[in-house]
Amino acid sequence: MMYSFGFLVVLLVIIFLIWYIRRRRAGMQIHNKLVQLRDMCRPENIIKAEIRQYLVEVQYTISPDAAGPDNCAICCDEFKKNQMLTQTECKHLFHE
């Protein structure tokens, strides 16, 4: 049984398209994984995650016997009563 030349060309084109689409999809999956890894490994994301484990949220209360600071270690603004602050491991306080 002999197939015509036109049928063989159409068959080869279909096989090529299936191969090309599969290759393209695999390439896109790899590309998406690489983009995701790149975003996870950005210095600002790593640093933020590492720093947050050493920070504690505290509420500022004015105490007459407290010798602690009454202003932000970063911007030097004074704290307000009952304001939520972030405290570092070395006891520095700052607000956001």
Domain layout of the chain by residue ranges: 5-45, 54-96
Name which of 61, 50, 93 is nearest 74 in CA terms.
93
Q: Which residue has the tokens 């030097």?
A: 76
What does the pLDDT read at residue 20? 94
Query: Tell me, what's the pLDDT at 73?
Result: 77
Amino acid at 79: F
The string of pLDDT tens digits covering residues 34-89 is: 888 887 777 666 677 777 777 888 888 776 556 666 778 788 888 888 888 888 87
Whether residue 2 is predicted with pLDDT greater than 70 in this model: the reply is: no
C-alpha 44/C-alpha 34 separation (Å) is 18
pTM greater than the 0.85 cutoff: no
Residue 11: predicted pLDDT? 92
Q: Which two tokens stand for residue 43?
A: 């210095």
Q: Which amino acid is at 25?
A: R
Strands (E), the chain: 56-59, 84-87, 93-94
Distance in angstroms (rounded) separating the CA atoms of residues 31 and 69 = 50
**How much is the pLDDT for 92?**
81
Of 56, 46, 51, 47, nearest in space to 93 by CA: 56
